[in-house]
Structure 1
Amino acid sequence: MRETTQCVCGSIKSHIIGSVQFEIRGKKIVVHDAPHFICEACNRRSFDSTTDIVSILKIAYKGDLNEISYFDEGFLDGVFAVPSKGIKVKVRSLSDYCDAKGVTPADLTKEELEQFLARTKDQQT
């Protein structure tokens, strides 16, 4: 993923992950956690060709949602994985749990962390 791109105004756009507001047929939809480029000079935003923002907007529009998270919709079951390790981490659930307790994952006990792990059959203990 490139970190910068040229803006039509002649300035440079920087790659960020943040909220972007759209208006579709009079309905305002905010997409949170959207990877995009923004120009500090003219405030224009654009998306890399690998960012499927249209699909996310369709989900929000059809679901009559005013807000949606790009990151969550890319992982509908909330499970994120490092393929070579055989262990999946339920990152969204872990994040929500830590937010509710006011702690970081490093503060959790081994037993607390265990509830956010999904092991493949060959990794079962």
Structure 2
Amino acid sequence: MPKPDEELIRKMERLEKGFPDGVYVKPSDEEIPRINMRALSRYCAEKGLRPIELSDEEREQFIIYEEDEGR
């Protein structure tokens, strides 16, 4: 069985220390509304549609604006 590359392990440990909460993504811009993807996916499955096939009114129900969240 090959021995793990110790230098690679050290690099990985150093990288992981930079993300103590385990989040590796950039926070979203609070000015940009978010989309409730779970609800959108469920709705599309129930209707037998793809998101691109929804009307503007149908898509609007899945957009979450920051003021809606009380932040």
1:118 aligns with 2:61: no
The share of aligned pairs that are identical, in percent, is 33
1:83 aligns with 2:35: no
Which structure 2 residues correspond to residues 11-90 of structure 1 after superposition, within 5 A?
83-84=28-29, 85-90=31-36
Higher CA-based Rg: 2
Report the 3-state secondary structure (helix = DSSP H, G, I; strand = E; otherwise coil) of the residue aligned with 2:43.
Answer: helix
Alignment match, 2:10: none
Q: TM-score, normalised by structure 1?
A: 0.30
List alignment gaps of at least 5 residues for structure 1: 1-7, 9-49, 51-81
Higher strand share: 1
- Deviation of the 1:95 alpha carbon: 0.2
Task: Give the 4+ runs in structure 1 shifted more than 3 A.
Answer: none
* RMSD of aligned Cα (Å): 2.1
- Point out which structure has higher relative CO (alpha carbons under 8 A, 6+ apart): 2
Q: C-alpha offsets along residues 35-90 of structure 1, whole Å, 9 cap, x if unaligned?
A: xxxxxxxxxxxxxxx9xxxxxxxxxxxxxxxxxxxxxxxxxxxxxxx712521110
Aligned length: 42
Q: TM-score, normalised by structure 2?
A: 0.51
List alignment gaps of at least 5 residues for structure 2: 2-15, 17-26
